[in-house]
C-alpha cells in the first residue's frame, strides 16, 4: 500500500519534468517530507492536448458521496478491482493522473523493537517515482462547501523486492507509459490494466529511517536520513 510519501519537488520543476503547465493553485502546495492522507498533493493530468500540474486532496471522494469523510479511507485503489468497483470505475475510465513523489514510506515489525520500523523507498537513480493515480471532482450536494478535486494511488501485489516490506506496493509508471495512462479518450481497459503491474521496469532501493516519521506531524529532511545498511532487512 502507500500511506505516507515524500513530495518536495517544486511545481515549476515538475512542470518542466513532465512537459506540463501550472494551474493557478499549484504553487500553493508546500513541499512535504511526510505527506499524509487528506493533505493536498500535486498531480499531473491531461486536458485535451495539454498536460497540467494540478493540486488535489489525497483520498478520493466519489462524485456521488454525501460527505468528505469517505476520502480518508480511499487513499489507495486496488489494481485488481479498480475498473469495476463503483468508487473508482468512472475515474478509471476518464480521470487518470500521475502522482509524482520523491519516495514513500513503508513499515516493518522488527525483533526487540517496540515501535514499527519505517523504511524510505525511492527510485534507484533518484528520479521522481511516478504513481498511477485517479482523480475525481466532488461537489457538496448542500451547496455549503467548496468543490474539491481528490485523488488516489493505485496499488498492486508487491514484486519480489518490495514484498519483504509489505504485500502491496504502488504502481510505478515508467515514462513510456505516461501518455497512454493520461489519455482520457482511451477507454481500452485491457491496455490500461496491462500497465498496472509491479514489474514496470522502475527500479527502487530502500533503507531504514528514523521512527520520527511515524508521527504524521513530523517534517524535515532528516526524516529521510538513512539508518543502518541500505536494503538490509534485519
Which of 2, 97, 136, 151 is catalytic? The answer is 2
Computed over its alpha carbons, how large is the radius of gyration of the chain? 17
Q: Answer yes or no: 106 catalytic.
A: yes
Which of 48, 49, 106, 179 is catalytic? The answer is 106
Contact 29, 11 (CB under 8 A): yes
Contact 97, 45 (CB under 8 A): yes
Among 124, 150, 152, CA closest to 231: 124
Question: Cβ atoms within 10 A of the Cβ of 21, count?
Answer: 12
Q: Answer yes or no: 151 catalytic.
A: no
Among 41, 61, 77, CA closest to 193: 77
What nine digits make up the cell of 215?
Answer: 508521527
Contact 26, 51 (CB under 8 A): no
Active site residues: 2, 106
Amino acid at each position: 500500500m502507500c500511506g505516507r510519501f515524500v513530495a518536495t519537488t517544486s511545481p515549476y520543476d515538475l512542470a518542466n519534468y513532465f512537459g506540463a503547465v501550472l494551474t493557478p493553485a499549484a504553487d500553493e502546495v508546500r513541499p512535504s517530507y511526510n505527506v499524509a492522507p487528506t493533505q493536498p498533493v500535486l498531480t499531473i493530468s491531461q486536458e485535451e492536448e495539454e498536460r497540467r500540474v494540478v493540486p488535489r486532496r489525497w483520498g478520493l471522494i466519489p462524485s456521488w458521496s454525501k460527505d468528505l469523510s469517505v476520502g480518508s479511507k480511499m487513499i489507495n485503489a486496488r489494481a485488481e478491482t479498480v475498473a469495476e468497483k463503483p468508487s473508482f470505475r468512472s475515474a478509471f475510465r476518464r480521470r487518470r493522473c500521475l502522482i509524482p513523489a520523491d519516495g514513500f514510506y513503508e513499515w516493518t515489525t522488527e525483533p526487540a523493537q517496540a515501535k514499527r520500523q519505517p523504511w524510505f523507498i525511492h527510485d534507484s537513480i533518484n528520479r521522481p517515482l511516478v504513481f498511477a493515480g485517479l482523480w475525481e471532482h466532488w461537489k457538496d450536494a448542500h451547496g455549503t462547501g467548496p468543490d474539491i478535486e481528490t485523488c488516489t494511488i493505485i496499488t498492486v501485489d508487491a514484486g519480489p523486492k518490495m514484498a519483504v516490506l509489505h504485500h502491496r506496493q504502488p504502481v510505478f509508471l515508467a515514462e513510456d507509459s505516461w501518455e497512454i495512462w493520461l489519455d482520457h479518450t482511451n477507454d481500452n481497459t485491457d491496455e490500461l490494466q496491462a500497465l498496472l503491474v509491479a514489474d514496470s521496469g522502475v527500479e527502487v532501493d530502500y533503507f531504514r529511517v528514523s521512527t520520527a516519521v511515524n508521527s504524521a506531524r513530523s517534517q524535515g529532511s532528516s526524516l529521510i536520513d538513512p539508518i543502518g545498511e541500505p536494503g538490509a532487512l534485519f
